Amino acid sequence: MWKTMELWMETLKYHEGRTILLAPKPAHAPSKAIAFYNPRMAFNRDISVLTLKAHIKIVSGEGLRICDAMTGVGARGIRYAREVEEVSEVVLNDLNPIALQFAEYNSHLNKVNEKTRIVHDEANRALSLASTPDSRFDLVDLDPFGTPVPYIDSGVRALKIEGIFAATATDLPVLQGIHPRAADRRYGASIYPTDYGHELAIRVLIQKIIRVAAAHELASYPIFCYYADHYVRVNLTLKRGKENINSLLDQIGYVEHCHECGYRKSLLHLNEFSKLCPICRRELKLIGPVWLGPLFDETYCRNMLGLVATVPLREENRIRKFLSLTLEEVNSPALFYSLSSICDRLNIPQKGLLGVVDDLRKLGYRASRTHIKGDAVKTDAPINVVEEVLKP
């Protein structure tokens, strides 16, 4: 049993939501930290609390059990325990014994020690031990250094039906195609750098999770998946049924992209691949497989926006704006155009974003802003139409 002890190193105290956290003084690099806590991920944890609260309103539930599989000093798991009253148990797991001393200390500090259970284990093993039907969790949360891929299988197996599978990925150079061989190894996808790479990163990770879950005859539906602050965060919920699984797999496809003129098009089938760009006749790159369906469930977005006032948030205005943008994206097509990139290429002044969105809608195309990039538009209009709208 891990016992609370007097912490003997230099520490700092942080406030997030209703939670107080003691953590070691930051190291220059996360890998050098004696026990990891990143205050810059408070936004991520704020969204996690709102997602769980919305899930409870939508699905309902009491006595929820959560596994924070890589807990560090316990920040995320303790916030779940402290700020979501329907939670009855949070497993705070880590392989680092010093991190667990902080996690237990913080549990007592926030008076949730009766709700938390400290586990000293490797994440895959801890999750695998919880994969029997009577041991599974209502929420499995993965927040590793880099990629969550090694933990997806065990995480899915440790999750109840209608539970939330939540994961953060920080290996953006891989997910955006800067390291294509690593992308192929980790995600089974061919990816090339594009100006919408952050969205590709979300969609590549989602398709990986959907395929892993499908191998266990489980359907994993994206409910709130986003990019922020140099990481990707996904939340999916599990359902049963071959029809559900097949419906998800049918929304995994590819993107053909031209690096010369910026043309791109989503494809559901490989035999649709054009090879040559229909606009400039240059060779196209084939990107994928990627998830081409929605990133957000509208019911979750609306509930989360409504819950903002119930949670003390340091960046409340940012979160309100962020959630409002996700609502705009609910029915948007996949992929966005960076207006600054297009205007730079055409050597023209940049128009206002809202005006461009309005002009595209008047032409009969779907168009919206995106949470990912402040000067980008999501639309089903082809690149040549977007260029004409942008020209003075």
Instruction: For 243-271, write each residue's pLDDT tens digit.
Output: 999 999 999 999 999 999 999 999 999 99
Distance CA 191, CA 185 (A): 11
Confidence band, pLDDT 50/70/90 cuts, at residue 225: very high
Residue 143 three-state SS: coil
Cβ-in-10-Å burial (0-12, 13-18, 19+) of 300 comes to buried
Instruction: For 154-202, write each residue's pLDDT tens digit.
Output: 999 999 999 999 999 999 999 999 999 999 999 999 999 999 999 999 9
Q: Cα-flanking dihedrals φ and ψ of residue 19, to 5°?
A: -110, 140
pLDDT at 391: 93
Instruction: For 375-386, write each residue's pLDDT tens digit.
Output: 999 999 999 999
Could you tell me if 269 and 250 are in contact, meaning their C-beta atoms sit under 8 angstroms apart?
no
pLDDT at 32: 58
Confidence band, pLDDT 50/70/90 cuts, at residue 35: confident
Does residue 9 surpass a pLDDT of 90?
no
Q: Is 33 or 344 the better-scoring residue by pLDDT?
A: 344
Pull the structure tokens for residue 279. Answer: 């606009």
Confidence band, pLDDT 50/70/90 cuts, at residue 60: confident
Distance CA 307, CA 83 (A): 12
CA nearest to 92, candidates 209, 4, 30: 4
- Beta-bridged to residue 13, according to DSSP, are 22
pLDDT at 33: 62
Q: Which of 7-11, 83-87, 224-228, 366-370 has the lowest mean pLDDT?
A: 7-11
Does residue 1 surpass a pLDDT of 70?
no
Confidence band, pLDDT 50/70/90 cuts, at residue 27: low
Q: Residues in the chain, how many?
A: 392
Confidence band, pLDDT 50/70/90 cuts, at residue 8: low
Q: Which of 26-30, 48-52, 217-221, 342-346 has the lowest mean pLDDT?
A: 26-30
pLDDT at 2: 42
* Measured CA distances, 326 to 20, 29, 301, 331, 368 (Å): 29, 32, 7, 10, 10
Q: Delineate the domains of the chain, giving CATH numbers in brackets.
A: 11-252 (3.40.50.150), 335-392 (3.30.56.70)
Is the pTM higher than 0.75? yes
Instruction: For 89-123, write each residue's pLDDT tens digit.
Output: 999 999 999 999 999 999 999 999 999 999 999 99
Question: Which residues, other chains included, contact 337 with Cβ-Cβ below 8 Å and sequence gap of 6+?
Answer: 195, 196, 262, 376, 377, 378, 379, 383, 386
Does residue 392 surpass a pLDDT of 90?
no
Does residue 133 surpass a pLDDT of 60?
yes
Pairing assessment for the beta strands 252-257 and 367-369 based on DSSP bridges: unpaired
pLDDT at 5: 45
pLDDT at 37: 86
Pull the structure tokens for residue 357. Answer: 């969105």
SS (H, E, C) the chain: CCCCCCCCCCEEEEEECCEEEEEECCCCCHHHCCCCCCHHHHHHHHHHHHHHHHHHHHHCCCCEEEEECCCCCCHHHHHHHHHCCCEEEEEEEECCHHHHHHHHHHHHHCCCCCCEEEEECCHHHHHHHCCCCCCCEEEEEECCCCCCHHHHHHHHHCEEEEEEEEEEECCHHHHCCCCHHHHHHHHCCECCCCCCHHHHHHHHHHHHHHHHHHCCCCEEEECECEEECCEEEEEEEEECCHHHHHHHHCCEEEEEECCCCCCEEEECCHHHCCCECCCCCCECEEEEEEECCCCECHHHHHHHHHHHHHCCCCCHHHHHHHHHHHHHHCCCCCCEEEHHHHHHHHCCCCCCHHHHHHHHHHCCCCEEECCCCCCEEEECCCHHHHHHHHCC
Pull the structure tokens for residue 76. Answer: 């995320």
pLDDT mean over 63-88: 97
Does residue 74 surpass a pLDDT of 80?
yes
Question: Which residues, other chains included, contact 330 with Cβ-Cβ below 8 Å and sequence gap of 6+?
Answer: 294, 296, 297, 298, 301
Quickly tell me which residue has 């891990």 as its tokens. 2
Distance CA 45, CA 102 (A): 18
